[in-house]
Amino acid sequence: MIVILKENLSKKQVGEVLRQLSDLNLEIHNATLNDRNIVAISEFPHDFDIRRIKLLDGVQDVFEVREPYKLASRTWKKEPTTFDVKGITIGGNMINTIAGPCAVESEEQIFSIAKMLHQNGVKFIRGGAYKPRTSPYTFQGMAVEGLKLLRQAADQYNLRVVTEIIDLSVLDEVYEYADILQVGTRNMMNFYMLTELGNIDKPVMLKRGMSSKITEWLMSAEYILSGGNEKVILCERGIRTFDSSVRNTLDVAAFPIIKELSHLPVFSDPSHGTGLRHRVTPMALASIAAGADGLMIEVHNNPEQALSDGPQSLFPDQFVTMLEKIKPIAHVVGRTLDIEIPNTATAAK
């Protein structure tokens, strides 16, 4: 159940409403979303009469939400969530494109890619500064120096930064340089981290756990929302299945399912979802057709020499071709791209 309190209530009035709800033996969780006081009630009897809540002074409306993910549910919020990132809209009718290397490797590399993205009208650059890897002996990222290079390249070419936070110990550093903080698949159930990210005022991209159900994914989003941060982007990045022909299985069905269950924007990461560059474009097109609100694509100026995930990274010319193919698909499904593709054949050079 979601209880919406009236606007402009004093702290004393809010406290009184919370007290009365507690007196009804309800398990309540208070939050502030979009400057409004929201109370999520996680447990209530099946035969509970919600009119008892509607009659309380200070209550504006009550929504009966039976799903465990209260604030992420479409039951109480019908309209898709949208928000602004430095002048660019996320969600709604917009399809966003986030692109860049798996990892920031050098100044020359990240500035080269940033220039290419800018030339092709892309508004968001991705890149890992901290790289949690399966092996402790592989490249682990450039840490703070990587964040600085990413920010400098983004500022020079009018891009917005998306980068991963791997641990709360680096939250302050990532917050300083990033415009969107990404939570990787391994941290989807790091509930302490998600709780802290609910307290910040920047968007959070929450990647699906590699073996997680959709409901578990939405419950992880609930941790962020319940802290007061409504700027949450879900990202399908492929799940682990019995099939060994792909690195991961990109769950394209997740996009229409999320649209049925939640109001949150959902992006696709076909790079991790397939693991090989020649499969990225087909799955990107399929994702847009299935309802994805955006794409996260790995692109590298020299994939064959990449220090991380080179086989799934597109060459710049492949990336430009992918953008050209996305445009008609977006038009068919009635969506708008946040990019303006130049008409020059040399844009990727």
In a domain, 183, yes or no: yes
Q: How far apart are CA 21 and CA 27, in angstroms?
A: 8
Same domain for 31 and 126, yes or no, is no
Strands 232-236 and 204-207: parallel
Same domain for 266 and 301, yes or no, is yes
Same domain for 47 and 94, yes or no, is no
Which tens digit of pLDDT belongs to each residue from 27-38? 888 888 877 888
Q: What's the mean pLDDT in 116-120? A: 96
Predicted TM-score of the model (pTM) = 0.91
Q: What's the mean pLDDT in 190-215? A: 97
Sign of CA dihedral 342, 296, 263, 28: negative
Mean of the per-residue pLDDT values of the chain:
92
Q: How far apart are CA 199 and CA 218, in angstroms?
A: 18
Same domain for 89 and 7, yes or no, is no
pLDDT of the residue at 41? 86
CATH classification of the domain holding 249: 3.20.20.70
Q: With helix as H, strand as E and coil as C, how does 254-290 read?
A: HHHHHHHHECCCEEECHHHHHCCHHHHHHHHHHHHHH
pLDDT of the residue at 346? 44
Partners of 41 in the beta sheet?
A: 28
CA 6 to the chain's CA centroid: 30
DSSP per-residue codes, 41-73? EEE--TT--THHHHTSTTEEEEE---SS-STTB
Q: Identify the domain containing residue 92 by its residue range.
A: 83-337
Which tens digit of pLDDT belongs to each residue from 318-331? 999 999 999 999 99
CA 49 to the chain's CA centroid: 36
Same domain for 322 and 216, yes or no, is yes
| 69-93 as b/e: b if 16+ CB within 10 A | bbbbbbbbbeebbebebeeeebbee
Domain boundary among 30, 63, 96: 63
Same domain for 93 and 59, yes or no, is no
Q: How far apart are CA 37 and CA 49, in angstroms?
A: 22
Same domain for 42 and 164, yes or no, is no
Q: List all residues 6 or more positions away from 338 whose beta carbon is below 8 Å from its beta carbon.
A: 88, 89, 94, 95, 96, 97, 123
Q: How far apart are CA 160 and CA 154, in angstroms?
A: 6
In a domain, 193, yes or no: yes
Partners of 332 in the beta sheet?
A: none
Residue with tokens 């005022």: 201
Q: How far apart are CA 262 and CA 72, in angstroms?
A: 6
Which tens digit of pLDDT belongs to each residue from 270-289? 999 999 999 999 999 999 99
In a domain, 69, yes or no: no
H/E run at residue 89: strand 88-90
Same domain for 28 and 109, yes or no, is no
Same domain for 214 and 315, yes or no, is yes
In a domain, 55, yes or no: yes
Q: What's the mean pLDDT in 178-185? A: 97
Q: Is the pLDDT of residue 342 over 60?
A: no
pLDDT of the residue at 343? 56
Give the chain's domain count.
Answer: 2
Q: What's the mean pLDDT in 50-75? A: 90
Same domain for 87 and 154, yes or no, is yes
Q: Which two tokens stand for residue 14?
A: 């809010």
Q: Which two tokens stand for residue 22?
A: 């507690």
Same domain for 272 and 192, yes or no, is yes
Same domain for 55 and 87, yes or no, is no
In a domain, 296, yes or no: yes
Strands 204-207 and 180-183: parallel
In a domain, 268, yes or no: yes
In a domain, 52, yes or no: yes
CATH classification of the domain holding 35: 3.30.70.1140
In a domain, 68, yes or no: no
H/E run at residue 120: none
